[in-house]
Amino acid sequence: MDFKTAPEIIKAMKEKVSLGAFGYEWPQADYFNAVADWYEIEHGYRPQTNWMIFTTGVVPAISSIVRRVSHIGDNVLVQEPVYNIFYNSILNNGRHALSSNLVFDGEHYSIDWTDLEEKLADPLTTLMIFCNPHNPIGKVWTKAEVQKIAQLCQKHHVVLLSDEIHSDLVGKGQGYTPAFSIEAKSNVISLVSPSKTFNVAALHAAYEEGHDWLKKLKQQLNENFDYISQFIQENVPEVKVVSGDATYLM
Ligand SMILES: Cc1ncc(COP(=O)(O)O)c(C=O)c1O
Is residue 25 one of the residues assigned to a domain?
Answer: yes
Q: Quick one: 108 and 73 in the same domain? A: yes
Q: Quick one: 250 and 159 in the same domain? A: no
* Residue 215 alpha carbon to ligand 1 centre in Å: 37
* Mean pLDDT confidence for 77-89: 98
Half-sphere exposure of 149 (CA within 13 A, CB side): 29
Is residue 76 one of the residues assigned to a domain?
Answer: yes
pTM of the predicted model over 0.85:
yes
Which stretch of 71-75, 137-141, 204-208 has the lowest confidence by average pLDDT?
204-208
Burial class (CB in 10 A: 0-12, 13-18, 19+), 182: buried
Q: Quick one: 149 and 211 in the same domain? A: no
Q: Quick one: 82 and 177 in the same domain? A: yes
For 35-50, how does the pLDDT look when each residue is reduced to its tens digit (9 = 90+)? Answer: 999 999 999 999 999 9
- The verdict on the CB of residue 201 being under 6 Å from ligand 1 is yes
Q: What is the pLDDT of residue 233?
A: 95
Atom of ligand 1 nearest to the CA of 193: 10
Q: What is the pLDDT of residue 238?
A: 97
**CA-CA-CA-CA torsion sign (25, 26, 29, 33):** positive
DSSP E strands in the chain: the ranges are 75-78, 96-99, 103-104, 109-110, 125-131, 159-163, 188-191
For 159-180, how does the pLDDT look when each residue is reduced to its tens digit (9 = 90+)? Answer: 999 999 999 999 888 889 999 9
Q: What is the pLDDT of residue 246?
A: 85
Is residue 47 one of the residues assigned to a domain?
Answer: yes
- The verdict on the CB of residue 78 being under 6 Å from ligand 1 is no
CA–CA separation, 166 vs 43, rounded Å? Answer: 13
* Mean pLDDT confidence for 224-248: 92
* Mean pLDDT, all residues of the chain: 94
Is residue 62 one of the residues assigned to a domain?
Answer: yes
Q: Quick one: 185 and 212 in the same domain? A: no
CA–CA separation, 164 vs 106, rounded Å? Answer: 26
Residue 50 sits in a domain of what CATH number? 3.40.640.10
* Residue 20 alpha carbon to ligand 1 centre in Å: 28
Q: Quick one: 13 and 91 in the same domain? A: yes
* Residue 58 alpha carbon to ligand 1 centre in Å: 6
Atom of ligand 1 nearest to the CA of 61: 11
Is residue 120 one of the residues assigned to a domain?
Answer: yes
| Domains contained in the chain, number | 2
Q: Is 125 helix (H, G, I), strand (E, B) or coil?
A: strand
Q: Quick one: 12 and 133 in the same domain? A: yes
Q: What's the angle, vertex CA 57, arms to CA 54 and CA 58, rounded to 5?
A: 100
**54, 59, 79, 198: which to mutate for ligand 1, most atoms within 8 A of CB?**
59
Q: Which of 163, 191, 219 is the last residue of a domain?
A: 191
Is residue 2 one of the residues assigned to a domain?
Answer: no
Is residue 196 one of the residues assigned to a domain?
Answer: no
Atom of ligand 1 nearest to the CA of 86: 3
CB 190 within 8 A of CB 220: no
Atom of ligand 1 nearest to the CA of 82: 1
* Mean pLDDT confidence for 73-83: 98
Q: Quick one: 185 and 215 in the same domain? A: no
Q: Which of 191, 226, 242 is the last residue of a domain?
A: 191
Share of residues in the chain with pLDDT > 70 (%) = 99
Residue 180 corresponds to which amino acid? F
- The verdict on the CB of residue 200 being under 6 Å from ligand 1 is no
pLDDT at 206 over 70: no
* Mean pLDDT confidence for 74-80: 98
- The verdict on the CB of residue 164 being under 6 Å from ligand 1 is no
- The verdict on the CB of residue 83 being under 6 Å from ligand 1 is yes
For 194-204, how does the pLDDT look when each residue is reduced to its tens digit (9 = 90+)? Answer: 999 999 988 76
Shortest-distance Cα residue to atom 12 of ligand 1:
165
Q: Quick one: 112 and 225 in the same domain? A: no
Q: Quick one: 150 and 223 in the same domain? A: no
Domain span at 160: 7-191
pLDDT at 247 over 90: no
H helical segments located in 177-210: none
Q: Quick one: 74 and 39 in the same domain? A: yes
Q: Quick one: 151 and 106 in the same domain? A: yes
pLDDT at 34 over 90: yes
Is residue 148 one of the residues assigned to a domain?
Answer: yes
* Residue 193 alpha carbon to ligand 1 centre in Å: 9
